């Protein structure tokens, strides 16, 4: 039955369905317990719980302020696992121009959610894979902590609340993303 449900969904889920549903998480979390949608706080909670090391930034009652978010993270993991298990194996239909651009970067396998040529355990041993996965991940964690939020906290919740700080953050997100796309990716290929 779950199979039938996921099979009937259009792939990808159109933006005008996915977007509003994702956006609804902001008011729903407020109603659930006055919680602010912001996934990157989980990174801080993990540090506070596992390796606080006397650092002020991690010296707080993480169970009280971040416990709910860890549960949300567990839910995210489960929901993604469920959807991936029941959704047909994806072939992401990106635009022809993107395919051409990526081919110029040496990517020719477009199966799956992320290029296997870069995102696999064996690729981790090479420069491109290591930089994309480990360095990339590090920058995501460092940047989100410094900016006080990621796309969920700033681009969605923050902009929805008309916070100027979030607009600055989103400008930063795009500045960094564009620079990396146009200057860094070609170097890595």
Partner 1 sequence: MTRYFLLGTLFGALLIESEVISWFRIQEMFRFQAFHMFGIIGSAVIVAAAGVEVVRRLPLQDAEGSPLGPAPKSVGNGVRYLAGGSIFGVGWALTGACPGPLVALAAGGVPVMIAAFISAVAGTWVYGYLRPQLPH
Residues 84-123 that bind partner 1 (CB under 8 A): 84, 87, 90, 92, 94-95, 97-98, 101-102, 110, 112-115, 118-121, 123
Three-class secondary structure assignment of the chain: CHHHHHHHCCCCCCHHHHHHHHHHHHHHHHHHHCCCCCCCHHHHHHHHHHCCCCCHHHCCCHHHHHHHHHHHHHHHHHHHHHHHHHCCCCECCCCHHHHHHHHHCCCCCCECCCCCCCCCCCHHHCHHHHHHHHHHHHHHHHHHHHHCCCHHHHHHHHHHCCCHHHHHHHHHHHHHHHHHHHHHHHHHC
| Candidate list 179, 186, 187, 189; residue touching partner 1; CB under 8 A | 179
| Candidate list 3, 79, 127, 187; residue touching partner 1; CB under 8 A | 79
Contacts of partner 1 in 153-172 (CB under 8 A): 154-166, 168-172
CB of 188 to partner 1, least distance (A): 8
Binding mask 10-49 for partner 1 (x = CB under 8 A): -xxx-xxxxxxxxxxxxxxxxxxxxxxx-xx-xxx-xx--
Give the count of residues interacting with partner 1 (CB under 8 A).
128
């Amino acid at each position: 039955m779950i199979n039938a449900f996921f099979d009937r969904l259009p792939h990808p889920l159109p933006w005008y369905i996915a977007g509003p549903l994702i956006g609804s998480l902001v008011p729903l979390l407020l109603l659930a317990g006055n919680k602010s949608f912001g996934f990157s706080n989980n990174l801080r909670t993990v540090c506070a719980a596992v390796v606080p090391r006397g650092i002020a930034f991690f010296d707080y009652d993480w169970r009280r302020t971040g416990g709910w978010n860890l549960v949300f993270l567990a839910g995210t993991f489960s929901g993604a696992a469920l959807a991936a298990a029941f959704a047909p194996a994806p072939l992401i239909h990106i635009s022809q121009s993107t395919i051409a651009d990526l081919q110029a970067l040496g990517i020719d396998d477009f199966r799956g959610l992320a290029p296997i040529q870069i995102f696999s355990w064996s690729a981790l041993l090479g420069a491109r894979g290591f930089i994309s996965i480990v360095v990339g991940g590090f920058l995501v964690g460092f940047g989100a902590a410094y900016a006080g939020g990621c796309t969920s906290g700033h681009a969605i919740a923050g902009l929805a609340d008309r916070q100027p700080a979030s607009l600055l953050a989103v400008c930063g997100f795009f500045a960094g993303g564009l620079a990396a796309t146009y200057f860094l990716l070609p170097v890595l290929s």
